Amino acid sequence: MKHPIWEGVMFDTMNKDRFDVAVIGGGMIGPAVSIGLLQRGLDVCILDEGDDVLRVARGNFGLVWFQGKGFGMPDYVRWTRRSAGLYGDFASELKDATGVDVAHANPGGLELCLGDEEMAHRQHFLGQIYQQGGGEPYEIEYLDRKQVEDMLPGVQLGDEVVGASYSPLDGHVNPLFLLRAMHTRFQQLGGTYKPGHRVTSVSDDADGYVVHAEAGDIRAAKIVIAAGHGLKDLGPPLGLDIPIRPQRGHILVTERTQPLLPMPMSAFRQTHEGSIMLGVSAEEAGYDDMVDTKSINDIAARAARTIPALRGLNIVRSWAALRVLTPDKCPVYQESATHPGIYGIASHSGVTLAAVNARVVSGWIAGDPPPEEFRSFGVERFNAENAA
Ligand SMILES: Cc1cc2nc3c(=O)[nH]c(=O)nc-3n(C[C@H](O)[C@H](O)[C@H](O)COP(=O)(O)OP(=O)(O)OC[C@H]3O[C@@H](n4cnc5c(N)ncnc54)[C@H](O)[C@@H]3O)c2cc1C
């Protein structure tokens, strides 16, 4: 527990064992939802696994990203837009209350295209998302090379860059500060954090449920399973058979440099400290999260073709992490039919959705009617009859 993320975070010493809501998982989704639950007056406990496990919250790229989300599911486009709209307020609350600045900025974002074929493919893909929305406004613009140059003053683009898609809704944060700020806020609001509590099973209790963890049991009226990859084992016995799989992604970080990139791009972003993060690959490698040299070479090579100045920067760090992916890449928010009051949440955009998870999803768990977008987020969309 000596990692700097935990500076200022208090650990449970009260040994309390009964709560309104037990949240399994202290990654990106659990703390966000828990903050909202505490603000609604509920008593909440987060049970979290040890430090040496799969935790995507510590390995992601930090984008709060709108463009390209929601292919085949207009409600996910709306949901992402909603979170982007709530983000500024959520980040300010975290900063004001905890002193941790999550470095949220939303100057808009770009996806740069190399060659006409890529640009045409991008336009076709985003055009389909727009069509699927039935003509609803879709905040995307297509820029030619000159327009991109105007947006990135002083940045020399590679010869192959022909243009980009742009969305004013895109932005980014420091994801480790976000994790720390959410944990600190959770505890400020009176939440109980139990690290080293790997949950193994859940059983019924007269007043709700008993959550069995290796370090001891707790009781709760409701349970939220926000355990990332852990949902795969925990969910099925509780009626939450949510099809998720790991997909590996790599990230590289350069040394710090002078301000170069005024806005994030889907594959590069300059952090507020000055380093440049480069990503993001997608490999089917099961649960293997070891760094693969071919992937990091490919990322670096594309970065150099896109913005040649990046060639002069040293790479100081690289890692791989495993996305929590559903078959359609859209989120699942599901209450169990067999175990009412137990909810499963899975998403590969836990950073982007942190604001809406805190502000809106918490209301659903507290007992509000489900948000309109939830008509699309149930697990039934994956069953064979519906897919046919
Ligand atoms: C390479 C990469 C880049 C990404 N970039 C972005 C991005 O730019 N923007 C974005 O929005 N998203 C991004 N993501 C995705 C984002 O990080 C995830 O969506 C998010 O972390 C998922 O949150 P989670 O809480 O479900 O899972 P996690 O963050 O993994 O947290 C799950 C927690 O549950 C705990 N747990 C698991 N099992 C148990 C158990 N049995 N008992 C107790 N605790 C348990 C784990 O220890 C962990 O702390 C990226 C992911 C990857 C891999």
Q: pLDDT in tens for each of the 388 residues of the chain?
A: 444 555 555 555 557 889 999 999 999 999 999 999 999 999 999 999 976 666 788 899 999 999 999 999 999 999 999 999 999 999 999 999 999 999 999 999 999 999 999 999 999 999 999 999 998 999 999 999 999 999 999 999 999 999 999 999 999 999 999 999 999 999 999 999 999 999 999 999 888 999 999 899 999 999 999 999 999 999 999 999 999 999 999 999 999 999 999 999 999 999 999 999 999 799 999 999 999 999 999 999 999 999 999 999 999 999 999 999 999 999 999 999 999 999 999 999 999 999 999 999 999 999 999 999 999 999 999 986 555 4
Q: What CATH code is carried by the domain that includes residue 314? A: 3.30.9.10
367 burial type by CB count under 10 A (0-12 exposed, 13-18 middle, 19+ buried): exposed
Distance 289 CA to ligand 1 centre (A): 13
Which residues lie below 8 Å from residue 278, measured CB to CB, with a gap of 6+?
251, 252, 253, 254, 267, 268, 299, 300, 303, 310
Structure tokens at 159: 């010869």
Residue with CA closest to ligand 1 atom 24: 228
Same domain (yes/no): 185, 250 = no
Asked if residue 101 is part of any domain, the answer here is: no
239, 332: one domain: yes
Identify which of 34, 55, 56, 244 to mutate to test ligand 1's pocket (most ligand atoms within 8 A of the CB).
Answer: 56
Q: How far apart are CA 33 and CA 358, in angstroms?
A: 4
Q: What is the pLDDT of residue 8?
A: 54
Decide if 129 is inside a domain: yes
CB within 6 Å of ligand 1 — which residues? 24-30, 47-49, 53, 55-57, 59-63, 65, 197-199, 226-228, 230, 234, 249, 251, 280, 321-324, 347-352
CA–CA separation, 197 and 15 (whole Å): 12
Angle between helices 175-188 and 74-98 (to 10 degrees): 70
Residues spanned by the domain of 267: 245-325
Q: Residues 263, 222: one domain?
A: no
From 28, 296, 347, the mutation candidate for ligand 1 (largest count of ligand atoms within 8 A of CB) is 28
From 202, 325, 348, mutation site for ligand 1 pocket: most ligand atoms within 8 A of C-beta? 348
Amino acid at 355: A
- Do both 238 and 335 map to the same domain? yes
Please tell me the predicted confidence (pLDDT) of residue 56.
83
Mutation pick for ligand 1 pocket among 173, 174, 351, 361 (CB with most ligand atoms within 8 Å): 351
| 219 and 333 co-located in one domain | yes
Q: Which of 310, 325, 340 is the last residue before a domain boundary?
A: 325
CA of 222 to the centre of ligand 1 (A): 21
Q: Quick one: 152 and 183 in the same domain?
A: no
**Spacing, Cα 274 to ligand 1 middle (Å):** 25
Q: What CATH number did the domain enclosing 338 receive?
A: 3.50.50.60
Answer yes or no: do 349 and 238 share one domain: yes
What pLDDT is attached to residue 2? 43
Q: Are residues 144 and 213 in the same domain?
A: no
The pTM assigned to this predicted structure is 0.95
Widest distance between CA atoms in the chain: 68
Write out the DSSP string of 342-384: EEEEE-S-TTTTHHHIIIIIHHHHHTPPPPGGGGSSSGGGGSH
Token pair of 246 as six digits? 């790991």
Residues 291, 235 share a domain:
no
Q: Is residue 97 part of a domain?
A: no
Assess whether 249 and 316 both reside in one domain: yes
d(CA 244, CA 269): 28
Q: Quick check: is 4 in a domain?
A: no
Residue 297 counted as domain residue: yes
- Are residues 341 and 279 part of one domain? no
pLDDT at 287: 93
Give the whole-angstrom CA distance, residue 72 versus residue 70.
6
Burial call 204-235: b when 16+ CB within 10 Å, e when fewer: eeeebbbbebeeeebbbbbbbbbbbbbbbebb
| Closest-lying ligand 1 atom to the alpha carbon of residue 351 | 11
- Name the nearest CA neighbour of 349 among 240, 249, 233: 249
In a domain, 131, yes or no: yes
User: Which of 300, 325, 350 marks a domain boundary?
Assistant: 325
Domain boundary among the residues 325, 349, 365 is at 325
- Stretch (H or E) spanning 178: helix 175-188
Q: Are 180 and 219 found together in one domain?
A: yes
273 within some domain = yes
Q: Whose CA is nearest to atom 41 of ligand 1?
A: 199
pLDDT value for 1: 40
Please list, in sequence order, all residues whose beta carbon lies within 8 angstroms of the beta carbon of residue 201, skipping any fewer than 6 positions away: 212, 234, 237
Q: Ligand 1: distance of its center to the CA of 350 in Å?
A: 7
- Domain-embedded: residue 84: no
Taking the alpha carbons at both ends of the chain, their separation in whole angstroms is: 48
Give the C-alpha separation, 243 to 250, whole Å.
Answer: 23
C-alpha 114 to ligand 1 mean position (Å): 31
How many domains are there within the chain? Answer: 3
